[in-house]
Amino acid sequence: MAMAMFTSFWIFLVAVNVPGANGQSVQMDSSKSGFVGTQVELRCLFVNSNPPVKISQVTWQKFLNGTKQNVAIANPSLGVSVLQPFKERVSFKQAAVRHLTPSLEDTTIIFNNLRLSDEAAYICEYTTFPAGNRENMVNLTVYARPITRMSLTTPTIIARPQKRKMTVATCLSANGKPPSVITWETRLKGEASFQETRNANGTVTVRSNYVVVPSRATHRQKLTCIVTYRNERITDSVILNVQYEPEVNINGFDGNWYLNRQDVELTCEADANPPITMYQWKL
């Protein structure tokens, strides 16, 4: 039984404002969020409280593992350039940046179709004259919302005379970052096991199995898996179908039967799954 599937990723952006010695500063958002496959803006504004200052170039760079990679460049003379592999996904928000005589005070960029690999630090650097370079850096953290599902181990569970434990249901939260927390809600007296697997892309898959001793008492009991991801709560439930042997009772004998007593009756009652289809009396 499948739960709602989520293939989106969550993004969180942190930044600081770095003022220049001569009254210039680069301002960026303190936080930003979005899902992979959607759009996010990385704001970068040049504030100059002591004009005149000429902006010679603005460069966006991705900084990861000590290596800088150019993302986008805006130059008053050469125009706008977005480099691979960002060319199809990154653009400057303000049309004025692309004008023949551009305005470069706001060089906010827009990320489209966000990816998990976008996680890095990003530098927005202004090259100015005569003030020199001014820059700021933001740390972009990518969160992955997991794919979640719950399933029965087998459609039909059989209660054995040996009363052995068995896994009856599995709850899975796959490829999440940070990992989800799985809990169970039920009246069953069972046990839950948990396993975390860290994937190569930094996401985590969490699996939980629920173990019970199948019996007549567990038949038709409700078992609910609860997946908590950040502030989200996702639930799914199953009803256990347990097959068990018949339990037979004969009712109607009151201990005071005697010869020629009238209106006496014996009733055979049986409880089983699957249900009883035939009754047979023997002396």
The string of pLDDT tens digits covering residues 243-273 is: 988 888 888 888 888 888 888 888 888 888 8
Q: Are residues 131 and 223 in the same domain?
A: no
Convert the pLDDT of each residue in 71-101 to its tens digit: 999 999 999 999 999 999 999 999 988 887 7
CATH number, position 156? 2.60.40.10
Q: In the chain, how many domains are there?
A: 3
Residue 42 lies inside a defined structural domain of this protein: yes
Task: Work out the widest C-alpha separation in the chain, in whole angstroms.
Answer: 123
The residues with which 94 forms a beta bridge, in sequence order, are: none
Residue 60 lies inside a defined structural domain of this protein: yes
For residue 93, the enclosing domain spans 9-144
Q: Are residues 233 and 258 in the same domain?
A: no
Give the integer Cα–Cα distance in Å for 123 and 59.
8
pLDDT of 190 reads: 94
Whether the CB-CB separation of 218 and 189 falls below 8 Å is answered with no
Give the integer Cα–Cα distance in Å for 213 and 188.
10
Q: Are residues 37 and 139 in the same domain?
A: yes
Residue 279 lies inside a defined structural domain of this protein: no
- The residue ranges of the chain whose pLDDT is under 70 are 1-22, 49
Residue 2 lies inside a defined structural domain of this protein: no
pLDDT of 10 reads: 44
The pTM assigned to this predicted structure is 0.76
pLDDT of 22 reads: 60
Q: Are residues 15 and 85 in the same domain?
A: yes
Q: Are residues 51 and 116 in the same domain?
A: yes
Q: Are residues 250 and 228 in the same domain?
A: no
Region class of 217: left (phi > 0), else alpha (psi between -120 and 50), else beta: alpha
Q: Are residues 209 and 159 in the same domain?
A: yes
Phi, psi of 255 (to 5 degrees): 85, 5
pLDDT of 184 reads: 98
Give the integer Cα–Cα distance in Å for 172 and 153.
12
Q: Are residues 171 and 216 in the same domain?
A: yes
- Measured CA angle at 179 (ends 178, 185), to 5 deg: 135
Q: Which residues contact 153 (CB under 8 A, 6 or more apart)?
A: 166, 167, 168, 169, 170, 209
Q: Are residues 138 and 26 in the same domain?
A: yes
Whether the CB-CB separation of 114 and 9 falls below 8 Å is answered with yes
Buried b (16+ CB within 10 A) or exposed e, 172-185: bbbbbbebbebebe
Residue 1 lies inside a defined structural domain of this protein: no
